[in-house]
């Protein structure tokens, strides 16, 4: 089966040898997103809450560009530079996945690109059965 690259102007452009997302075999795999505003190319201001919202809006745009929705997300991986931000991130995350809880891993990391506080990647099942 052929793999299809997924791109959208509603999420930050890839700045290296990767793409925003790849579809294949009924799945969408996204690149990790940090809280970059696609219009300005700058990190969202306002700490972990603002960055988490921006990350999830970026991911939502990629999922929608692939023809899906957050209800089809089956797995996410969250990277935090400070695990004390977990509760604040989790509260915003939960609002985006209200009524649907994908599997998730959360990992504490030393550093993220551009000194971001959070990065999230996901896998969505776009086709049924």
Give, in words, the CATH class of 4-125: alpha beta
3-state SS assignment for residue 75: strand
Work out the pLDDT band at 116, boundaries 50, 70, 90.
very high
| Contact partners, residue 127, CB within 8 Å, separation at least 6 | 26
Looking at per-residue confidence, does 16 or 44 come out higher?
44
For residue 128, the model assigns a pLDDT of 67
> How far apart (Å, rounded) are the C-alpha atoms in residues 72 and 120?
16
* pLDDT tens per residue across span 16-35: 899 999 999 999 999 999 99
């Amino acid at each position: 089966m052929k793999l299809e690259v997924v791109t959208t102007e509603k999420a930050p452009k890839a700045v290296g040898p990767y793409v925003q997302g790849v579809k294949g075999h009924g799945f969408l795999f996204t690149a990790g997103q940090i809280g970059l505003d696609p219009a300005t190319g700058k990190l969202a201001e306002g700490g972990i809450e603002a960055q988490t919202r921006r990350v999830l809006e970026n991911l939502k745009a990629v999922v929608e560009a692939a023809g899906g929705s957050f209800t089809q997300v089956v797995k996410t991986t969250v990277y935090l530079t400070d695990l004390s931000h977990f509760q604040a991130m989790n509260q915003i995350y939960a609002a985006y996945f209200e009524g649907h809880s994908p599997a998730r891993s959360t990992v504490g990391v030393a550093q993220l690109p551009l000194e971001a506080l959070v990065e999230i990647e996901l896998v969505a099942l776009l086709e049924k059965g």
